[in-house]
Amino acid sequence: MHSNRLYPSWDQISQLKTPLTAGELALVQYLDLYLPKDKDWTQTNKLDDYKHLQTYSGWLIFVQPFLNGARPDIIIFHPKIGLMIYEVKDWNLKNYGNDQGGFKVHTKDGSYGVKHPKNQVEHYKDNIQNQLVPAIGEAVDLNKKNFGLIKTGIYCHNSTTSECRDILGTPLKREQFKYFPFIGRDELKVEKLQDVVPDVYRSVSFSWKQEWNEELLFWLLPPFHSIEQGTVLTLRGNQSKIAEPQPGHHRIRGVAGSGKTQALAYRAGKLASMNKNVLIVTFNITLWHYIRDMIQRTPFNFRWDQFTFAHFHGFCKDRLNQFGVKWPTGPVREKFDSDESFNQALELFFRFTIPNAVKSAINNKIVDYYDAILIDCNTRV
């Protein structure tokens, strides 16, 4: 099977350590067969070479893309229209349903809470537009008509479209499925293509900004960073010592502007060049974007998919979402007598309630491991 717009390629997919599920495979085959493609595009056109996308006319398909370590099932992308995220389930929906305790699976051993696929796919969307490519989120905030710049869909391989909508589609109304597809196996027909991909027959979206494409593709298909790309970041004085990777736990202190972040970025680049997987945590989104730009300047060879970037509470949210745990309810201003008491409660909530919820959620679970965790803390801890 040959395709010139599928990432990874069919040959690479056939060699995955964890094979695609039957549902993932069926949906990828359907999309690759029927989505419009640019006949002049070949995989010798590098996605990280932005000029190739300016004239591209068609859809690209990404299977389990890296997405800062999140790995959604399928993302389809048109550089002049936008993107769509699909969550695929091979469930027998007869065993699933909503009740007063939330969304559950019913087995012979009892009923258990599980993560609703709608929550999962919307979590990916939220991460893209509010953390990875925040310019998209800003466009949505300015004009709610831009809410559909990133679309989402649910595909249930072992169910009909009707069953998928009845069991998973609540509380959407029938007419909303036109924009937020919940589909079953019976929908995978060429005449149903617009039901599967609502924007499939559009040639352009005036709301989609092509300057977003380069940043988006960085996360969908992280490029290789070569030594030649960076040589601008140089260290001085004590920075050289603290920038060298060392085993164990270390805390570096210094006044603002002393070069701690530069040293961290250099250390991160060198760790990645040693084939280490690195988690970088900051206490706000802006700072980790700055660190990523600084790592770009380091003189090392590495793959960008060796990094996962997060701000602390975003990291907590990702872990809770991973294990289907709701974000705890925080303090409500109206219940406090003063701003001071409310702010104190809010600080306790983020400092203790959220981390404790994460600790509870990951207890005795299989979690992601990293070779190195680097934390840039610009506040007192």
Residue 381 domain flag? no
Q: 47-57 pLDDT, tens per residue? A: 655 566 777 88
Q: Report the side by side order of strands in the sheet with 182-184.
A: 6-7, 60-63, 74-78, 82-89, 150-156, 182-184
Domain termination residue (choose one: 204, 220, 236): 220
Is residue 289 classed exposed, middle or buried when 0-12, 13-18 and 19+ CB atoms within 10 A define those classes? Answer: middle
What pLDDT is stored for residue 305 in this prediction? 95
Q: Which residues contact 218 (CB under 8 A, 6 or more apart)?
A: 48, 304
Shared domain for 92 and 158, answered yes or no, is: yes
Shared domain for 174 and 88, answered yes or no, is: yes
What pLDDT is stored for residue 48 in this prediction? 57
Shared domain for 162 and 254, answered yes or no, is: no
What pLDDT is stored for residue 119 in this prediction? 92
Q: Which residues contact 125 (CB under 8 A, 6 or more apart)?
A: 85, 150, 152
Residue type, 250: H
What pLDDT is stored for residue 38 in this prediction? 85
Q: Which domain holds residue 184?
A: 6-220
Shared domain for 201 and 247, answered yes or no, is: no
Shared domain for 148 and 247, answered yes or no, is: no
243 is written with which tokens? 């920038």
Give the whole-angstrom CA distance, residue 354 versus residue 379. Answer: 18
What pLDDT is stored for residue 47 in this prediction? 62
What pLDDT is stored for residue 230 in this prediction? 57
Give the H/E segment covering residue 26.
helix 22-34
DSSP H helical ranges for 181-228: 193-196, 211-220
Token pair 């589609």 is at which residue?
169
pTM of the model: 0.90
Domain termination residue (choose one: 201, 220, 239): 220
Shared domain for 65 and 210, answered yes or no, is: yes
Count of domains forming the chain: 2
Shared domain for 159 and 125, answered yes or no, is: yes
Q: Which has the closest alpha carbon to 85: 183, 161, 197?
A: 197
- DSSP secondary structure letter of residue 234: -
Shared domain for 210 and 236, answered yes or no, is: no
Domain termination residue (choose one: 203, 220, 237): 220
Question: What is the C-alpha end-to-end distance of the chain, expressed in Å?
Answer: 54
User: What is the chain's pLDDT, residue by residue, as a tens digit (381 residues)?
Assistant: 556 789 999 999 999 989 999 999 999 999 999 999 987 776 655 665 556 677 788 999 999 999 999 999 999 999 999 999 999 999 999 999 887 778 899 998 888 888 899 999 999 999 999 999 999 999 999 998 899 999 999 999 999 999 999 999 877 888 889 889 999 999 999 999 999 999 999 989 989 998 999 999 999 999 888 877 656 777 777 777 777 888 888 777 765 666 788 999 999 999 999 999 999 999 889 999 999 999 999 989 999 999 999 999 999 999 999 888 889 999 999 999 999 999 999 999 999 999 999 999 999 898 889 999 999 976 544
Shared domain for 210 and 168, answered yes or no, is: yes
Shared domain for 40 and 151, answered yes or no, is: yes
- DSSP secondary structure letter of residue 132: I
Shared domain for 154 and 201, answered yes or no, is: yes
